[in-house]
Each structure stands twice: as C-alpha cells, then as structure tokens.
Structure 1
Amino acid sequence: MSNFSKTQKIRKEVLWTDGGVVASQHRKAAEAGAAVLAAGGDAIDAAIATSFAVGVVEPWMSGPMGGGMMTLWRAGEERAETIEFGMRSPAGLKTEDYPLDPSGKAGDLFPWTRVKDDRNVYGATAVAVPGTVAGMELAHQKYGTVDWADLLAPAVALAEEGMLVDWYASLIIASATRQLAKDPDAAALFLIDGQWPNIAGWTALTDVHLDQKTHAATLRRLAEHGARDFYEGEVARMLAEDVQAKGGSLTVEDLAAYRAVASQPRTIRYRDAVIHAPSGLSAGAELVATLKEMETAFTPGDAPSAESYAALGRALGNAYRHRLATGGDTGESPEAPACTTTFSVVDRHGNMVNVTQTLLSIFGSSVVSPQTGMLLNNGIMWFDPEPGKPNSLAPGKRCLMNICPTVGQAGGRMFALGASGGRKILPAVANLTSFITDFGMDLETAFHTPRIDASAASGTVVDEDLPPEVAEALAKVGPVKRAKRTVHPYAFAVPAGVMREGGRNCGATEIMTPWGDAMHENAQ
C-alpha cells in the first residue's frame, strides 16, 4: 500500500540546443561538464570533469575509489567504443578470510550465503582495486583535448567548498548511519557526535556542508601529478596504507598493475536501429539478448502496449535467467539501494558518451580512507563467496557488473543512455531503448513514460501509472507487483541520457531525482 498522492505530477523539461549537453544525477556535476564544453572541450573532456565532480557531490554513489565503464561515439569516425574500468579483487586476497555463515543470507545487494561478520560487504576487507581514475586516464589519453589538471579543477573547487547537506543528502546519510558509525573516519565525515546524521533542519534554511578538504587535497595532487599517482605514487601509498591499517588486503602492487581497457562494444542491428551495448563484464550481453527476443515478439504500433510490455518483461526475464546461470550473478534484493551514478554527454560536434561508475553499495564499504578523504568501494561483494561457481570469490579476478552504458542510432537520431540501480539498470536501458527505437519517442517523452522492471527474473514490477491491461498481460508471464515511481526508495532504476537530431542536442535525467539535471553549455 502506498501513502503517496495520486494527483501529484512530476515533470522535467527537456530543452534542445545547438551546443553540447551534460545530463547527470547531480546538477553541479552537470554544470562542471557543461562549462568544459562551453570552453571548447570535447565530450570526453566534459565526461572526465563530470566524473570527478560527481564523486564530490554524490560521494556515496561513486568516485575515484570505485569503477565502471563508458560507451562512447566518435562522430567524425562514425565509431563506437567501450572503455572498461571495472574493479578487481586484490592479488593477495585469501578466500579463507571470508568464512561462510550458513545461518543466513548476506545483508546487502546480493543474496549470497552470508560471510561471517559481513566481511565481503562492510569494512576494508570488502575493498577491491579501484578503476575509475584509470578509466578517465585512458579516455583522456585517447580523446582528451583539455589539460588534465583543468578537468579536475571544478571537482577540487567543489570539494574545497564541501557538499551541501540538503534534505535529500540528509535522507541518504540517515539511511546508512548505523554502518557509517562503525568507522571513525566515515563517522567524522558524515555524522555528528559519531551517531547522528549530519542533517539539515526541518523548517529552517540551513547551510551545512561536509568537510571535504582532504578529498580536495587528494584531487589537487592527482591534478598536479597525473592519474598514475593514484596507482604508482603518493596517493597509491596512502590508499594501500589506509586499507591495510583497517584490515584489508589492497597493496601498492595491486594498484600499480591496474590498467583500464578499450574494446569494441557489442553492436547489433535492432529493427531499423543500430545499438552499441557495452563489452566485457557488463549487462551488455543481456541487453543484446533482450532486444533480439523482442524483435520477433511483437510489431511496434504508435505507442507501447500491453503486448510490447509483456514482450519486454518476458525477454528481460529470460536474459536474467541466462545471466544467473552463466555469469554467476544470482541476483539482488529488488529493494536494496545500489551505489551507482550515471551521466551522458554530447558535444556540439555530435561526439557522445555515457559513463556509469559506482562504489557498488550505498556508501561503498562504509569506510573512509583518512589520508585521501574518500569513501572506499565494496567491490568484493560482487563475488559469490561460495566456491566452484563462475563468479566465485578469488584473488586477482575481475568483478561482474550490472552496468549498461549504451549508444544507439535510430530514425536519424543518436542517443547515449545509462542508468544506476544495480540489476534494475538493464530493464531501464531496455525500456528506454525500446521507447526510442520502436515507438519513435523523443527523449522527454521516453523519460516520462512509465517503465517496468523484471530484474528479479521471477516476476515484474509495474509502474502504478500504467493501465491495468499491462499488468494483466505481464501476469501471464509471471508474478506482478505494482509500485509507485518515487524519490526514495527507487522501485525502478535512475537513468540519464542525451540525444542528437538534425545537429541539435538535448539531455534528460530520471524525473524523480531531485538533484538530476541536464545542463547546456550555452547556459553557463
């Protein structure tokens, strides 16, 4: 049962422009990227600036201590590419340090058999080798046109000021207070007196900011000494020292060995469209499988129908069941909060990119590295702690991710999409891809159209705003649950996208995110 208003309507306006656009889950990060575009930078330059900026203003979602992927489009070359910068388990990790506790399931995203003391979920023992900085480094080496230090400057300035703690930030911090209180450095950053959320007032206007000066100092060092300092220099030393002091196994050797990888995306023709799904250990293979099944399952009409939603739900369920059997990912609790952010960029020349980056859980491992001032990931939780499975925990192993940064071409339009939300990511990208390619929707219409989520593989979550016949059609596929599209918690994923048509660009973010926005370069 829902307590929410049935008459309230929420919309976000989507504006077209001749200039570039950045769509991000936080407006200030989008502004940082848009300023780079306004100064003549490439879409990749703007993405790098946005990546580091969003790690400051959404520190629990992503940041330099996480990992992810980007799928990009180079307009002049008519070519797509994926840059993979996912996390890895440390080479010195010992599986015997993660003894199973058969009395229950893990307490966060994945229903693995529980590990004693949740050592794979919380604390320094959950920390994997970060990849985000290496991913931005490789993208900059290949396509950057603006000096590296200039791209980090907006994030440095935001960290010096400190993230504003408004009502939404207060809500997020409050949701994780119990775990944050267990780490003295996390408690010092996010809590008051080590136990109460650093929270904004109820009725009075407040001006509370996090103290992120240590975070700023680390970013300033990366700006001055380059990205490799994160992996081979002073930042690497500080990070490894902090993780080991708190009981983790990350070493400077793990960091020095890390490299991001550029690869060919999974490109397919879907009806009259071309879709470039991400390569590697992403949800790209499942997006391809979903679209291939949908292509023969229904004939598109003027708008999404009960038939098209049922075909989408059935295809997603089949794709997830295959993923669970072959990828080793046995699923997530559909109500669990995933700690991921996504942003899309298009520049005035038509180059575009979606970046999806993450710490994995909300607040990652709930541990802060005191010398760097940054939250650490809990990438070890991506692995099944039980041995003998495709995704079983082991040293020096790549993490299997749910992210799905995607670029597409359909009906004279180019678009770049991604989403955050764990296993909900693939359904969101598939919904939006279908809306645009099957029904010719523009970005504003697509982002306001109700979606379904079939990430549990055994049933479907249906937006309450969809007509009853959609739920009835999906009930023939499997169990159905109706849910409201709200600010917290998210029953559906949180997408961000950009679109280009006729030399003009636009961007959009999930309508329920109070921080998300698309910023134009000419709005600076």
Structure 2
Amino acid sequence: MALTYTQSNVSRQAVLQKPAVESQGGIVASQHRRASEIGVEVLNAGGNAYDAAVAVSFALGVLEPWMSGPFGGGAMMVAPAGGPVQALYYGMRAPKRLQITDYPLAADGHASDLFPWKAVEGDRNVHGALAVAVPGTAAGITALHARHGTMPWAELLQPAIAAAREGLLVDWYAGLMIASRAEVLSRDPDASTMFLLDGKWAPMAGWTALAETRLNMQRMADTLGHLAVAGGDDFYRGDLARMLVSDLQAKGSRIALDDLESYQAQWQDPLAIGHRGATIFATPFLTAGPTLARMLAHLSAHDMPPEAGAPRGSDYIGWAQALQSAYLDRLANDGDPEPGNEHPQAPSCTTHFAIVDRAGNMLSMTQTLLSAFGAAVVSPSTGLMMNNGIMWFDPEPGRPNSIGPGKRCLMNICPIIADKDGTRAAIGASGGRKILPAVAQIALMVTDHALSLNQAIHTPRIDVSGGPSIMADALLPYEVLQALGERFDTVVVPRSFSPLAYACPIAVSRRAGMNTGACEVMMPWADAVAQG
C-alpha cells in the first residue's frame, strides 16, 4: 500500500468556505444560483417545493445546458410533509430498434469518457446520434407536477423561457466547460453553431474586461414556450416529439416515435435502509441506491459504532472498505437484464438540486445528460441538447449491463432522504461514479456523527468508486492520510474548481421547523437561496 501526492502548480492548498443558509421559510439549493433564485420566486408566489422543482429543472437545462435538460434522464426522492417518502424513476433507455452491430468493439483501448468499457469504433456509444438514448427527464417532471404540483404548468416554465431568451452568460466557468468539449462539439453543425465561434473556438470571458458574451438560445426558448402551452405530454406524443425524432433520425439515430410514445416515468416504493437509528430512503432500481444499501450493510456488519464529531481515520478506513465491497458487487452484477423486467437489482456531467418549503415538503432530484454536453448533438428544430445515455451500457456482450435494444440504463445517481431523531435531510450529488461515495459520506456525517449540514459539506472526503486506488482530500489531517496509505493505495488530491476531483454534493435539511441548505464549495455556480 502507498500514499502518493499529486503534482500541482499551486503552492498551497486554499481553504474555501460556502456557508450553509438557514431559514424558517423554504430553501432551494442547486448547482446554479439563478436556478435557486427561480425556485424561491416560485415559493414566494405560493407554490410548494414540487412547483419550485418544475421551474428549477427546466431553468437548469438552460443555465447549465451541458449538465442536463429535458432530453436527459434521472430520478428523484419526494418527501411530502406528513406523507410517505416516494421515489420517481425517469431514467433513459435504449431504443427498441437499437442494433448491437452499430457498436463494434475497437481492436484495443478503452472508452474516451467516464467509464472503463472497452472502446467502440469511433466512440459511437459516446458521441453522435447513435449514443443518444430515449429521454426521461421531461416525463419525470410532468409526473411530479401531475401528482404534487399546485401552480399552473405554463407559469412554472416562464423563468426558463425568459433565461433562454436572454441567452447563457459566458463567464470563465462557462468558457472552460465549452472549451473542454470544443472538439467534439465541432463535429455536429448544430452544436457548433450554438456553442462555438467560427465552428471551433469556445467563447471566453476576458481576462480583465467586463464585456458580456451570451449564447443564442432562441430556438430553445421557442421550444420551452411550445411545451408550456402544449403540456409535458407533447414531448413524447405530440408535435415536439415528432420534431425531435425527425431531427435525430436525420443524424443517424435509431430512436423512433414509438420509443417516445411508450415511455413512462415510474413511481416506486423506495428502499428504506435502516442504519444505526436512521432511516435512509433511496431509489430502488437501476441507480446507486442498492449499492448504498450494500455499503451501509457492510458498515453495520464490520465496524464499531462511530462517535459523534468529526470522522477519524478509522471511520474513513471503514467507509473505504465498505465502498470497495459495494462497488465490486455493483460492477459485477447490476444492470437491466431483460427489456420490460421491472425489478432488477440496481452505475454524470450531471446536476442535482434539493428543495424544502416552509411546510416541510422536501425533494432530492438528480437529472443528467450523462457526459458533459451529452452526445454533443443538438436537435436543430428544438435547440435541445441530446443525451449520450447509450454510454452507460457495457459494449461487451454477455454481461448484466451489456448494451441491448429496449434496455434501461444503469445510472450512477443517488438522491436520498435521510431521517434520524427528528432531522430530515435531502441529499444528492453530481459526478458520475463519484456520486455514491459523496452522498454516503455526507449522510453518515449527519446521521452517525451528528454534524450539521454546514459542517458536513465542508468536511474533507475520500473517493472510492471502483478503481484500483482511493483518492483522499489533501485537507484531511496527516494522521488520517497516513492511516489510509497503510491500508490502501491512496492518492492525495486537492479539491479544486477544475478538474472536479470529487463529486458535487448538494443538500437541504429540516429540524424543528428550521430549514438549512448547503452546496459543494468547489462548484463555482452552486448556491443555496432562502426565502426572505
């Protein structure tokens, strides 16, 4: 075993804080401050947490177009005040007419993005129209509004429409994100027109100048305006569905109209995981929820109960061992074995948000395109970014998560609701396979160690997500790093804005009528906003 420090041009580790906010009113915490403000505006207008979630979901598709959008997928945990906790699944799935021969394995190498699958020729499962899966996000938001919404659908889409009319402001972070994908975006004429200058250059904020650059998102604004009037079902069974399918097929996709027409979001009974006096509710299928249950079961079976206060070296060692065990099981056995099987056992750039309102209604929601900018394909008729959900499948045949027609994607996402001793928290994260370790550690810091949400979000973490080594935050005490290095191949990696070495957790909590919201320090746009 070994302890290795990463190389860096930074002389010393910066210590940053993004304090949690508290309020007896509602709180919206998301990866973009303007989206959080939009959610609070809905609460101030008399909406509940679920009305706010509709507005925030569509706003994030405009404000963070590389992270999520209506043509993505995800899942949420819904916790009405005084009612049972519910799970809503709206993951992506493969087209019914998918042809496995479209994804021939390359002679050698691995996929160019996120997962260590064997490479497919031309990265067809990663970029381009053949990487696009049947979307679920629009269906999930529609289902949430139908069951729990109180404000008119059309009214809740207006902030996203206004943001799209204004166009995305390109600051240093937006410029960095676009530049990181400029090469693949340049391959699709419509993505290139939307995001790049002269088809190849990322728009960048000036080094010292304050000149304002905005992306033209008028086509997306028109689409959201249509959806506001026609209703969410139009995305799957109306004019908008036909436009999307026509655009995709023109670019080579196998998605057909009946793929959209047959799609349904699914309300589910959540996993209710008992752990040391807490109950943690998680999504039950095709997410990281079952992997979280395995991790917590391992902790309960092998570790001594923790002490209140900051986690010690023994806690981090126990977490690492439990995560390693859970991931070995996940990567070997999880997937959707047969199309139509509704009960399999249950791996973005992604976005997560959490909301609690004044009455205590709560929500933890994750939505994603999978990779940054998804498939790097834009639908010209709608201005929407397409997902690359096909990359979630293992391209090698004969495995539980192997690619196949009609199969549902095995997602990494892990939105949860955690209850203990009168405190309820809605927790989730973005960050691919790094999501589960972050969500688990934040939850355990709050439940096992009795830390406040503010303390938990600022406490250094480790990442154990299926690779041969673990990553440890450079801000961990030296004795903790030493203890980890004696047991595991440990790489010390500072938290930074770029690259985001760890997941981006976001959470809200409620105790005795007081609400709290907190966001990952290193996500530059993320913020929690409270009702005044």
Normalised to the residue count of structure 2, the TM-score between the two structures is 0.95
Match of 1:12 among 11, 14, 18: 18
**Residues 67 and 85, structure 1, Cα contact 8 Å, conserved in 2:** yes
**Residues 344 and 355, structure 1, Cα contact 8 Å, conserved in 2:** yes
Deviation (angstroms), 1:439: 1.0
Match of 2:211 among 199, 202, 206: 206
Compared CA separation, residues 299 and 76, structure 1 to 2 (3 A)? closer
Could you tell me how far apart the structure 2 residues matched to 1:224 and 1:374 are? 18
Report what 1:436 is aligned to.
446
Q: SS state of the match for residue 374, structure 1? A: coil
Report what 1:3 is aligned to.
9
Report what 2:318 is aligned to.
311
Report what 2:78 is aligned to.
72
**Residues 282 and 403, structure 1, Cα contact 8 Å, conserved in 2:** yes
Q: Which residues in structure 2 correspond to 1:98-497 (within 5 Å)?
A: 98-296=103-301, 297-301=303-307, 302-327=309-334, 338-497=348-507
**Residues 51 and 151, structure 2, Cα contact 8 Å, conserved in 1:** yes
Supply the AA of the counterpart residue of 1:399.
C
Could you tell me how far apart the structure 1 residues matched to 2:335 and 2:477 are? 35
Supply the AA of the counterpart residue of 2:284.
S
Report what 2:50 is aligned to.
44
Deviation (angstroms), 1:40: 1.5
Could you tell me how far apart the structure 1 residues matched to 2:229 and 2:118 are? 44
Deviation (angstroms), 1:3: 1.9
**Residues 298 and 308, structure 1, Cα contact 8 Å, conserved in 2:** no
Report what 2:101 is aligned to.
96
Q: SS state of the match for residue 368, structure 1? A: coil
Match of 1:509 among 504, 519, 522: 519
Using the TM superposition, name which of 467-476 and 102-111 deviates more. Answer: 467-476
Supply the AA of the counterpart residue of 2:364.
N
Could you tell me how far apart the structure 2 residues matched to 1:66 and 1:120 are? 16
Q: SS state of the match for residue 192, structure 1? A: coil
Deviation (angstroms), 1:303: 2.2
Could you tell me how far apart the structure 1 residues matched to 2:123 and 2:190 are? 19
Compared CA separation, residues 179 and 82, structure 1 to 2 (3 A)? same
**Residues 21 and 519, structure 1, Cα contact 8 Å, conserved in 2:** yes
Normalised to the residue count of structure 1, the TM-score between the two structures is 0.96
Deviation (angstroms), 1:45: 0.9
- 1:451-486 Cα deviation digits (max 9, x unpaired): 010013432100000012222322344211100000
Matched, 1:56 2:66: no
Could you tell me how far apart the structure 1 residues matched to 2:325 and 2:123 are? 31
Report what 2:4 is aligned to.
none
**Residues 23 and 519, structure 1, Cα contact 8 Å, conserved in 2:** yes
**Residues 411 and 440, structure 1, Cα contact 8 Å, conserved in 2:** no
**Residues 328 and 466, structure 2, Cα contact 8 Å, conserved in 1:** no
Runs ≥4 residues deviating over 3 A? none
Q: SS state of the match for residue 439, structure 1? A: coil
Q: SS state of the match for residue 157, structure 2? A: helix
Could you tell me how far apart the structure 2 residues matched to 1:493 and 1:73 are? 24
Could you tell me how far apart the structure 1 residues matched to 2:211 and 2:100 are? 47
Could you tell me how far apart the structure 2 residues matched to 1:100 and 1:15 are? 49
Could you tell me how far apart the structure 2 residues matched to 1:7 and 1:80 are? 40
* Number of residue pairs matched by the alignment: 513
Could you tell me how far apart the structure 1 residues matched to 2:11 and 2:482 are? 24
Could you tell me how far apart the structure 2 residues matched to 1:312 and 1:141 are? 39
- 1:205-228 Cα deviation digits (max 9, x unpaired): 021111001001110111000011
Could you tell me how far apart the structure 2 residues matched to 1:5 and 1:53 are? 38
Could you tell me how far apart the structure 1 residues matched to 2:138 and 2:26 are? 24
Deviation (angstroms), 1:328: 5.3
- 1:423-458 Cα deviation digits (max 9, x unpaired): 000000011011001111111110000001001343
Deviation (angstroms), 1:52: 0.3
Report what 1:335 is aligned to.
none
Q: Percent identity?
A: 51
- 1:295-329 Cα deviation digits (max 9, x unpaired): 34132123200000100010001000000110159
**Residues 27 and 515, structure 1, Cα contact 8 Å, conserved in 2:** yes
Structure 2: runs of 5+ lacking an equivalent: 1-6, 337-347
Could you tell me how far apart the structure 2 residues matched to 1:478 and 1:102 are? 33
Matched, 1:519 2:529: yes
**Residues 62 and 358, structure 1, Cα contact 8 Å, conserved in 2:** yes
Could you tell me how far apart the structure 1 residues matched to 2:294 and 2:334 are? 14
Could you tell me how far apart the structure 2 residues matched to 1:40 and 1:221 are? 24
- 1:232-261 Cα deviation digits (max 9, x unpaired): 111101110111111111111110110000
Could you tell me how far apart the structure 2 residues matched to 1:311 and 1:476 are? 13
Match of 2:33 among 20, 23, 27: 27
